[in-house]
Amino acid sequence: MRHVLSALVQNVPGVLSHISGMLASRGYNIDSLVVGETEDPQLSRMTFVVVGDDNVLSQVRKQLEKIITVVQVDDISSHEHVERDLMLIKIAAPPDMRGKIGELADIFRGRIVDVSPDAVMVEISGPEKKIEAFIELMRPFGILELARTGRIAMVRGCQKDI
């Protein structure tokens, strides 16, 4: 089972390295990891995607909660939540193919953010399946480069859950 965990951590040097190293040393694979400052500049939010049963989830949470720089851990996937990925994708695009690529980007609510003589770069955000579907549609054109952020997630509504 896929779990999305969110951890509020102190915004101090080395916290990412410490936490990811601890999880790796215990044999837990992280599918996705995103870190960014929160509304409080003293705190960062780390969003993890881990795959495993409830026992794996429990162990990961316990290990995270032992770390002194971790303030709070929550299993976002156990609540109604919104998840998004952001991707930049550079596609081979001779002038006669740009219209088709642009149309597909529009369908996926993406936007062209850069054009060069032989390529276009598209920015697209959304659920993981949407991103994956767009990648598959772009393969025949020729993907030159691709960068993704990984998942970010937030609980819906007014709850102050992380």
For the stretch 141-153, pLDDT in tens is 999 999 999 899 9
Q: Measure Cα distances from 159 to 81, 107, 135, 156 in Å.
A: 11, 33, 34, 7
pTM for the model: 0.80
pLDDT at 63: 87
Residue 139 confidence class, pLDDT cut points 50, 70, 90: very high
C-alpha to C-alpha distance for 158 and 133, rounded to whole angstroms: 32
Domain boundaries, the chain: 2-78, 82-153
In contact, 108 and 136? CB cutoff 8 Å? no
CA–CA separation, 157 and 115 (whole Å): 39
Question: In one letter, which amino acid is 25?
Answer: S
Task: Report the pLDDT averaged over residues 128-151.
Answer: 96
Top-tier CATH class for 2-78? alpha beta
Identify the band that residue 119 occupies on the pLDDT scale cut at 50, 70 and 90.
Answer: very high
Rg of the chain taking only CA atoms, in angstroms: 18
Compute the distance between CA of residue 43 and CA of residue 11 in angstroms, rounded to an integer: 5
CATH of region 82-153:
3.30.70.1150
Q: Tell me, what's the pLDDT at 160?
A: 61
Domains 2-78 and 82-153 share a fold: yes
